Each structure stands twice: as structure tokens, then as C-alpha cells.
């Protein structure tokens, strides 16, 4: 074997392609994956639903193509990396002497993208033949919401024709000895609150200034944040089962050439928050809390909540009591009012669940209690079609480093993940029952 041609070297080659926003190099990533796919005789199709946003679809036909197929999805893009703050350059994929491979995307989620292929390569070498057709998809733009990626893909005729019965997408690393599996994602909302008031001299004390009103809201929101965080700290619920609200910006003050005008209290101030809602939270209650406590009109406040509906329209925005939506394509029943997340059953009512679980134990793996993912992935769009999806990235004994500096994955963990997927693909694709979920 050429040193270029080992599983680790192939992983490193994928990691060295800079697919970080804001200028992800999708075409190099697609060419690399395409050449890998052709080398193991997979069918290859590139779809382009938006210019410059390719979706790569690979297919391993099963012996019974009438059965619903399997889909293994991953995203091509990564979040940006601040090179100067990394110990190794984020797109060099340096392997340290102790086996850590450092790269942006090492955990999120280029590992699974090539592990799928390595698993198929190994199964083919062992002359395994799937009963069900296995599809592998690589989609752009997950990190920025998926509208020009997975959303257009799942809304397409091509996707419908795949007849997907069960899908897998990314999960998160597990610091412990058990693999983690995710049956839902929280819904992301963006909240902007704005306060208005009369401007005044910097020396005066008066009521209802824009800054005062905004700061009151910030305090109230912080208290709510703390109450949710206390539940987590007390061990009563995991982080992903409470409503999180984190400030992401504040904007106020009157700019001047040397900074800000310091002797004037401004007439406008605003703050932005990232909110995540678990499936158990009632979106309407959260919206009411925002309207009545966080941005009440009586304090001269207005708000805007933007969330993403599972449709091919603009983001939806609630401004005061008005909800602005303009659906173009509905992807099934509107069960996601204000982004309420959908869940995939992890019990025997989902015929895929026991097969997945057994596939993990078959390779000596232990599975942690199924969880809701704290963040958000493309899986939510596939779930919207009524397709069961599990989020899973086989990384145990690994710190959770997604979106952080010095993201890495250990070589041994990566290689073990390939075996895990071999078992998963073998089991799921051999499942002959046509009974649907
Ligand atoms: C608004 S969709 C953004 C999706 C993104 N996914 C991974 O980090 C997230 O922020 O969770
Ligand atoms: Zn990801
Ligand atoms: Zn991410």
C-alpha cells in the first residue's frame, strides 16, 4: 500500500480540503469523494439545486431494490477556523505522535463522510452484498442552515425516488466509553429585541431610556437562562432538554470618529440571542414569554423571532403578533409550528432501532441512553418527511470539540468508527422486512 492509500491518509486528504465558510471549496471536496466512490464502484451522481452548491449522491444498489433504501448523510461544509489560535494549521490535518489528527472538520463531520466510504470498501472486499439499496449523500451548507443544501435535496423529485426508509446523520463525540445516539435536534430561534427611548444628556438620571429598558430585559433573560441552567447543573435534565438562551450581540451607542459619543444616552439599543428549543418545550409559551416579559411594549420594546420552517421559503419571522410566512413547498404536514422539533422513536415501535442497537453491540460497542442533540443538524429536514433518522458519530473517549479551536480525532477512534459503520451498514441493509415505520 502506498502511504497515500491508507484509511488515515484518505481521511487526511479530505480534511485538507478547505470547506470552511464563508468560502467552502465544494468542488474539490466533491472531486475527492467522487474519485473515492468510483474506486469502489459506487454509482455517482452530482445534483445542483442551487448554483455552486452541489449535492453528491452515491449509490450501492441492493439485491431487492423494491425495499425502502438507507441513506447515510453528512455535510461537506465546516465552520471557520481562526488559524492563529490553533496549535497546528486547521487544514493541514497534522497527526501528532500520539495519534491525534488535528483539523477543522475532524469531528464535525468529515470523519463520518469518509468512514461511510471505508466501511463500504471493506464490506465489498468481504463480498458482502446488501439487500436494501444504500445511498450516501454529501450536502453543502449545513452550518448555515441547509436551505440551499439538504432542504432543496429532500424537497426534490430525485430524493422522493430514492424511497428512503431510514437515514443516519451526524451526532456528537462522547467523552465516555459509550457511543451516543440522537433522536431529535433542538430547534434554533434567533431573537432580536430592540428598545427605544428619548435620548438625553449623559449626566441625567431619567426613566425609560433605551439602554435602561434593554438592560432590564437582559437581566430578565439572564435570570431565565440561569433557571434553565440550574436544572442542568442539578442534574435534573441534560443540557439539550432545557430551553437555552445565549446573548450573541449587543448594539447601542452613537458612533463618533473616536469611538462613541460619551455624553449622550442613545435613543435605540438592541441585543441578539440564540435560543434553542427542545421538543418538550411549547413554542407558543416561549413566544409569549418573549412578548410579555423579555420585550414588552410597555417598556418601549419590540422583538423579532426568526426560526426556520421545514419548507423552501424564507425564514419565518414573528414580529409582535404577526407571523410572516410564505410557503413554497410543504414537506409534509405542518408539525413544526414555530420549529417544534420532530423525534425518531428509540423503541421497538421503530423497527430500525433494534437493528441499529444490535449492530453496535455486535462490534462490542455500548450505547448510551438516546439523547436529544443540543445543536441542530440536517436530520431535522429528513425527519420532516416522516423518515426516521438517528444522529450518530462513532467517537467515544473523545472530547467534544465541534466548532472549537484544535478540533481533533484520534486515529484509533477513527479506525474503530469504520468497523462500527461496517456493522451498521451490514445489519441495516440486510433487514428484509418491508414493514414500514
Ligand atoms: C440555524 S441552522 C444552524 C445549524 C447549526 N448546525 C451546527 O452547528 C447550528 O447552529 O446548530
Ligand atoms: Zn455538523
Ligand atoms: Zn457544526
Instruction: Say whether 217 sits in a helix, a strand or coil.
Output: helix
Q: How far is the CA of 78 from the centre of ligand 3 (A)?
A: 6
Best mutation site among 105, 112, 145, 274 for ligand 1, i.e. most ligand atoms within 8 A of its Cβ? 145
Q: Which ligand has the nearest atom to the CA of 185?
A: 1
Q: What ranges make up the beta strands (E) of 257-377?
A: 259-260, 264-265, 268-277, 301-307, 316-319, 322-324, 371-373
Cβ 31 under 6 angstroms from ligand 1 = no
Q: How far is the CA of 108 from the centre of ligand 2 (A)?
A: 5
* Integer CA distances (angstroms), 30 to 45, 93, 106, 345, in order: 10, 18, 17, 33
* Integer CA distances (angstroms), 265 to 137, 196, 197, 253, 280, in order: 53, 11, 9, 7, 41
Q: How far is the CA of 403 from the centre of ligand 3 (A)?
A: 6
pLDDT in tens, the chain (437 residues): 667 799 999 999 999 999 999 999 999 999 999 999 999 999 999 999 999 999 999 999 999 999 999 999 999 999 999 999 999 999 999 999 999 999 999 999 999 999 999 999 999 999 999 999 999 999 999 999 898 999 999 989 999 999 999 999 999 999 999 999 999 999 889 999 999 999 999 999 999 999 999 999 999 999 999 999 999 999 999 999 999 999 999 999 999 999 999 999 999 999 999 999 998 888 889 989 999 999 999 999 999 988 766 555 555 666 654 554 433 334 443 344 455 678 999 999 999 999 999 999 999 999 999 999 999 999 998 998 889 999 999 999 999 999 999 999 999 999 999 999 999 999 999 998 866 55
272 φ, ψ to 5°?
A: -120, 145
Atom 3 (ligand 1): residue with closest C-alpha? 145
Atom 2 (ligand 1): residue with closest C-alpha? 145
User: Span 3-185+341-430: which CATH code?
Assistant: 3.40.630.10
Which ligand 1 atom sits nearest the alpha carbon of residue 376? 11
Within the chain, all domains assigned CATH 3.40.630.10 are found at: 3-185+341-430
Within the chain, all domains assigned CATH 3.30.70.360 are found at: 188-324
- The arrangement of secondary structure in 188-324, i.e. its CATH architecture, is 2-Layer Sandwich (3.30)
Best mutation site among 187, 278, 377 for ligand 1, i.e. most ligand atoms within 8 A of its Cβ? 377
Which ligand 1 atom sits nearest the alpha carbon of residue 276? 11
Q: 61-72 in b/e burial notation, b at 16+ Cβ within 10 A?
A: ebeeeebbbbbb
Amino acid at each position: 500500500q502506498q502511504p497515500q492509500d491508507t484509511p488515515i491518509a484518505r481521511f487526511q486528504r479530505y480534511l485538507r480540503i478547505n470547506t470552511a465558510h464563508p468560502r467552502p471549496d465544494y468542488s474539490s471536496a466533491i472531486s475527492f469523494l467522487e474519485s473515492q466512490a468510483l474506486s469502489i464502484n459506487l454509482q455517482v451522481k452530482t445534483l445542483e439545486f442551487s448554483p455552486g452548491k452541489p449535492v453528491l449522491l452515491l449509490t450501492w444498489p441492493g439485491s431487492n431494490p423494491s425495499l425502502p433504501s438507507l441513506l447515510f448523510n453528512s455535510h461537506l461544509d465546516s465552520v471557520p477556523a481562526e488559524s492563529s489560535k490553533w496549535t497546528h494549521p486547521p487544514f493541514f490535518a497534522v497527526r501528532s505522535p500520539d495519534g491525534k489528527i488535528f483539523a477543522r472538520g475532524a469531528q464535525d463531520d468529515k470523519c463520518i463522510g469518509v468512514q461511510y466510504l471505508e466501511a463500504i470498501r471493506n464490506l465489498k472486499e468481504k463480498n458482502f452484498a446488501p439487500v436494501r439499496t444504500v445511498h450516501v449523500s454529501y450536502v453543502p451548507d449545513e452550518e448555515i442552515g441547509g436551505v440551499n443544501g439538504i432542504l432543496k435535496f429532500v424537497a426534490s423529485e430525485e430524493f422522493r425516488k430514492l424511497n428512503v426508509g431510514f437515514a443516519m446523520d451526524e451526532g456528537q463525540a462522547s467523552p465516555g466509553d459509550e457511543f451516543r445516539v440522537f433522536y431529535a435536534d433542538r430547534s434554533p430561534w434567533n431573537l432580536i429585541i430592540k428598545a427605544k427611548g428619548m435620548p438625553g444628556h449623559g449626566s441625567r438620571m431619567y426613566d425609560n431610556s433605551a439602554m435602561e429598558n434593554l438592560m432590564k430585559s437582559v437581566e430578565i433573560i439572564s435570570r431565565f437562562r440561569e433557571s434553565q441552567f440550574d436544572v442542568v447543573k442539578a442534574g435534573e435534565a441534560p443540557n439539550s432538554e432545557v430551553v437555552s438562551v445565549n446573548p450573541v450581540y449587543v448594539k447601542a451607542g452613537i458612533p463618533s470618529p473616536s469611538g462613541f459619543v460619551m455624553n449622550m444616552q442613545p435613543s435605540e439599543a438592541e441585543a441578539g440571542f440564540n435560543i434553542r428549543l427542545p421538543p418538550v418545550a411549547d413554542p407558543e409559551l416561549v413566544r409569549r414569554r418573549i412578548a410579555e416579559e423579555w420585550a414588552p411594549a410597555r417598556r418601549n420594546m419590540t422583538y423579532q423571532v426568526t426560526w426556520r420552517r421545514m419548507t423552501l421559503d424564507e425564514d419565518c419571522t414573528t414580529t409582535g403578533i404577526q407571523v410572516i410566512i410564505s410557503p413554497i413547498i410543504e414537506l409534509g404536514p405542518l408539525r413544526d409550528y414555530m420549529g417544534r422539533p420532530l423525534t425518531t422513536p428509540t423503541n421497538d415501535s421503530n423497527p430500525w432501532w433494534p437493528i441499529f442497537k444490535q449492530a453496535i453491540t455486535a462490534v462490542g460497542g455500548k450505547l448510551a441512553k438516546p439523547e436529544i442533540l443540543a445543536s441542530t443538524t440536517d436530520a431535522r429536514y429528513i425527519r420532516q418527511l416522516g423518515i426516521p433518522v438517528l444522529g450518530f458519530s462513532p467517537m467515544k473517549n473523545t472530547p467534544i470539540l465541534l466548532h472549537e479551536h484544535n478540533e481533533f480525532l484520534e486515529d484509533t477512534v477513527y479506525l474503530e468508527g469504520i468497523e462500527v459503520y461496517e456493522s451498521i451498514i451490514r445489519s441495516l441493509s440486510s433487514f428484509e422486512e418491508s414493514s414500514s415505520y
